[in-house]
Chain A
Amino acid sequence: MLFINLILNLQLDAPTPWGLYFQDSASPQMEGIEELHNNIMFYLAIILFTVSWMMITIIRDYVAKKSPIAHKYMNHGTLIELIWTITPALILILIAFPSFKLLYLMDEVVDPSLVVYAEGHQWYWSYQYPDFTNADDEFIEFDSYIVPEEDLEEGQFRMLEVDNRVIIPELTHTRIVISSADVIHSYACPSLGIKADAYPGRLNQASVYVNRPGTFFGQCSEICGILHSSMPIAIQSVSLKDFLLWLREQMDD
């Protein structure tokens, strides 16, 4: 798998041309998802080869010219029916257990040091840092709009850049609280393994622990109207020191 990734350049944390595999993981959740995916692929390979072998054998050996009355004997076989019922059930159980384990692990919000509130609007995201207030006792809050194509600086990513990025510190347990002001949106960032629906009037949450500095892009993942494609998400992870400097800057504004 690693070899294929190296050749095809598939495993990245911003989308790349012809990217077919996951983006680079930057959080334990995403590592878990990737591992689960690889485990399931193992079963998938076994099933694919077994079923293909059976199909090819049947097509090759039971063709009408070779065995014209094969259907006369194709009546009933208790043993084979038991085998083809119980085996898939066992495979499903083998897939379900690690899947549930991961699901409940991801659901757990580890005592967070920081809360970021993300709210979906038609068609932009707005953010609040309710743990911090400025001199006027106001929360740090800002809107995050897409950068239109004509305003992009050379090299920037079209349809992914925003005017204000969410800044979070690396190696810090962060809770992202997600809601919406109008219709259902979905807050997603593949590298961090987050995808949580944003419902108007309800709060959703996701736990993030970014394990390296970097910039991670995502997009709204629930059809929310005509500009659904134009409300990207850009999360930048910085060192704690840089985060505090950024915070100071925001408080002064």
Chain B
Amino acid sequence: MFLRTVSQAAPRSAAALRSGPMACLHASKTVVAAQQARAASDHAIANPTLAGIEKRWEGMPPQEQAELWMQLRDRMKVDWNQMTVQEKKAAYWIAFGPHGPRAETPKGEGWKILSKVTQLTVASVVIFYGIHLMGKPLPKTMSKEWQEASNEYALNEKINPIHGVSAEGYEGKGFVQSPSAEKS
């Protein structure tokens, strides 16, 4: 049976002899088109073809992958009770297994991303404060004394009479946000 599989594959792979990955892709498309017309297959696929498919699949050339998949599709057209357990397993694994876009992420990838993000965040904080150190000093209005005077000023100007400093019973800090000028 294995020999039969190989003999089927041989003439098809002749189409893929043109070099380059695109040629190979083109060839596998041709194979798919040809295979879609195929009828259901009564013969089980040989065990060696399917053995350890989980480990071999990623390394197989696209041509072979397409062929194997088409054979499995033919097998799935018959009563599934006639399929061997290995065929069922292989069909399921190829369709839904963790390969290609469903491949599992490499171990420790989360930590790698976290560490890189942390490094970059720390670097940007350092750069920010580095530039900040070179900046001008704070304006004179950024002191507690000035801001307390701002509260008085706002009261005289009737500023913020609904929820702010001029409101009845207001107990907030108003414009005060900085430490005293003597301290800083």
Contacts from A to B (Cβ < 8 Å): 5-6, 9-14, 16-18, 23-25, 64, 68-69, 72, 149, 152, 154-158, 212-215, 236
Q: Are A12 and B164 in contact (CB under 8 A)?
A: yes
Q: Chain B nearest CB: distance from A86 CB in Å?
A: 33
Q: Can you list 28 A-B pairs with a CB-CB distance of less than 8 A?
A: A5-B163, A6-B163, A9-B172, A9-B173, A10-B163, A11-B162, A13-B159, A13-B161, A13-B162, A16-B160, A16-B174, A16-B175, A17-B175, A23-B160, A24-B161, A25-B162, A64-B102, A149-B139, A149-B140, A154-B145, A154-B146, A155-B150, A155-B151, A158-B139, A212-B161, A214-B158, A215-B158, A236-B157
Cross-chain contact B158 with A11 (CB below 8 angstroms): no
**Interface SS of chain A:** loop
Given A215-B157, A215-B159, A155 and B164 contact (CB-CB distance below 8 Å): no
B149 within 8 Å of A by Cβ? yes
Contact of B150 among A5, A68, A69, A157 (CB under 8 A): A157
The reply to whether A18 and B146 form a contact with Cβ atoms under 8 Å apart is: no
Interface residues of B (CB under 8 A from A): 96, 102, 139-141, 145-146, 148-154, 157-164, 172-177
In the bound complex, do residue A24 and residue B164 qualify as a contact, i.e. CB atoms below 8 Å apart? yes
By a CB distance below 8 angstroms, the chain A residues around B162 are 11, 13, 24-25
Chain B residues with CB under 8 Å of A10's CB are 163
Q: Are B163 and A9 in contact (CB under 8 A)?
A: yes
CB-CB < 8 A to B173: which residues of A?
9
Q: In this complex, what residue of B is CB-closest to A5?
A: B163
The reply to whether A24 and B163 contact each other, CB–CB distance below 8 Å, is yes
Q: Which residues does chain B contribute within 8 Å of A9, judged by CB atoms?
A: 163-164, 172-174
Contacts of B102 in A (CB 8 A): 64
- Report Cα–Cα, A10/B146, bound state, in Å: 20
By a CB distance below 8 angstroms, the chain A residues around B164 are: 9, 11-14, 16, 24
What's the Cα separation between A215 and B155 when bound, in Å?
11
Of the candidates A6, A14, A17, A152, which one forms a contact with B160 in the assembled complex, judged by CB atoms under 8 Å apart?
Answer: A14
A12 touches B146 (CB 8 A): no
The 7 A-B residue pairs whose C-beta atoms are closest, nearest first, are A155-B149, A155-B153, A17-B177, A12-B164, A12-B160, A11-B163, A215-B157
Q: A16-B174, A155-B152 are in contact. Are A214 and B139 (CB under 8 A)?
A: no
